Amino acid sequence: MGRWKLILNYPSEHIITQTTAESSSGSVLCGQVSFSNAPLQSGIHLRPARFGRLKQGNETKDSTAAMRLLGELGFMGSRKEQRREELNYEIAEKLSGCFISPPRTPVGSRTIECDFELPIPLSLPATAALPSVEISYAIFASCTLPNGNILLSSRDLRIIRHNDESIHLEPSRTISFPESPLAVRASFDAPNLDSKNIVIPTKLQLQGLNLASTSSMRMNETRWLVPREIRWEFEETAVLITGFPDTTGNLSMATTQRALKKRKLSTGKEKLKLNYPFSRKGNTPIRVLPDGSGMEIPFFVTAPNCISLSGSTVLSVAGGHILHTVLCSEPSSNPALPRKRFAVYLEYKLHIWLRIGEDVFDEASGGLVNRKMDEMAYTILCPLSKQSAAQSQDDGVEPSSLIPPSYDNVREQQPPPGYTTFSGALYEPDPDLSTIKSINSQLLA
């Protein structure tokens, strides 16, 4: 008689589709389980399980590298054995499962095959592998052997959350700066999710570029603030909330701890060529604003396609408690305390650095008359949040009037590479503001 085998067969990915704010679909996993070389004494239990692991910054990174090296040297067994250790059923968070009664099999048949439909909870967070946290899933199958022992088998399952609704990102507020006529507003068209990377068409609207004439200027000359370069950085912030569950089994918001883990996902820059008049052939393509005192500059922001801009990673909160949290697989350092639970959600921000100089042009010929050596670098930080309802980006309606930057709780902000600035500041935003503003001054020799 051959070795007893319990084999699971199902799609490696399961998609939970969010159709509206209140409903989801795709919560049943269909597959097949087969048992070989022995008659079953009872049915087969199927149960999904979840593993949640918290990482400790650089220490985890070094530890992971060391573990990988030991594995390559053969001191930790095969990759299959290491994976079996990771899928330890004893430490897993067990979710609701199902029971399969084996069908009758023909005499002499050594394999029993059973189809199954396993319910998957709609509230499950997606599988995640972030620098600060990991969330993974597996399906476990167990049955009782003729000798009374329990046979256990498992297989990974990747949970994906998908939103069918189109994504429309909120534009920034129009931002003004101290001691400058410049006002800036960033807006975003619908992201392109079909390419290798996510592409976000972005428009930077600049107002107040046409400056008043000075006494040294001739009548046929015009003075402008001229954008030289745009640099951007796409940032992800993982907001990790941890704590011990109370009597409800959930995390109380009053006793949780909150940590932020930031990482840079992508960067880019656009060198601008703008001669007067700015819509002339050969210039960087721009759109002159109707009042003639400003322009709109289009450019593209790219980000890895693994990110989620659909808002599916937000927290679920009710009655002062955080729901649908994940049990930490690592045991508590104090045996008297239960294991911690955690929740994680992601925020995305776009840093935009705009370098601007001052030029004087001949209004008739468009030739450059004078160029100031002083240049300014302005910084805007735009949270990328999904609109609650689709709105037109070109409806001309501003979210609010001009809002000067606040410099309360100032902390240092490093300029992008290649920028030499005397000072720079980035303020912590008010929860009601959708844009963080800062201004850096720059002097080019």
Is 46 a domain residue?
yes
| Amino acid 209: pLDDT | 96
Domain that holds residue 198: 175-443
Domain count, the chain: 2
CATH number at residue 119: 2.60.40.2550
Alpha carbons within 13 angstroms on the beta-carbon side of residue 336 total 0
Residues 276, 367 within the same domain: yes
Residues 110, 15 within the same domain: yes
Q: Are residues 68 and 82 in contact, defined by beta-carbon separation less than 8 angstroms? A: no
Q: Are residues 108 and 317 in contact, defined by beta-carbon separation less than 8 angstroms? A: no
Of 103, 130, 163, at which residue does a domain stop?
163
Residues 11, 43 within the same domain: yes
Please list the residues that pair with 403 across neighbouring strands: 175
Of 128, 163, 198, at which residue does a domain stop?
163
Give the Cα separation of 26 and 169 in Å (integer).
Answer: 26
Is 169 a domain residue?
no
Q: Are residues 36 and 4 in contact, defined by beta-carbon separation less than 8 angstroms? A: yes
Residues 205, 291 within the same domain: yes
Residues 157, 249 within the same domain: no
| Amino acid 313: pLDDT | 56
Q: CA 159 → CA 122, 137, 153, 186, 242, distances in Å?
A: 10, 7, 19, 34, 22
Per-residue pLDDT of the chain (445 residues; tens, 9 = 90+): 567 888 999 999 998 887 644 444 448 999 999 888 656 667 889 999 999 999 875 433 444 444 444 444 444 444 455 455 557 888 899 998 888 887 665 555 677 888 899 999 888 989 999 888 999 999 999 888 878 888 899 999 999 888 777 788 999 999 999 889 999 999 999 998 877 899 999 999 999 999 999 999 999 999 999 999 999 999 999 999 999 999 888 999 999 999 999 999 999 999 999 999 999 999 999 999 999 999 999 999 999 988 877 655 567 888 889 988 999 988 877 888 888 999 998 999 999 999 999 999 999 999 999 999 889 999 999 999 887 654 444 444 444 433 443 333 333 344 444 443 333 333 333 333 333 333 333 333 3
Residues 159, 189 within the same domain: no
pTM of the model: 0.75
Q: Are residues 404 and 424 in contact, defined by beta-carbon separation less than 8 angstroms? A: no
| Amino acid 423: pLDDT | 30
Give the Cα separation of 183 and 400 in Å (integer).
Answer: 13
| Amino acid 24: pLDDT | 47
Residues 192, 124 within the same domain: no
Residues 414, 280 within the same domain: yes
Distance between terminal CA atoms of the chain? 85
| Amino acid 286: pLDDT | 96
Question: Look-up: residue for tokens 């015009």?
Answer: 222
Of 163, 196, 214, at which residue does a domain stop?
163
Residues 137, 26 within the same domain: yes
Residues 111, 203 within the same domain: no
Q: Which two tokens mark 378?
A: 């302005």
Is 55 a domain residue?
yes
CA 69, distance to chain mean position in Å, is 30
Residue 209's nearest CA partner among 228, 182, 186 is 182
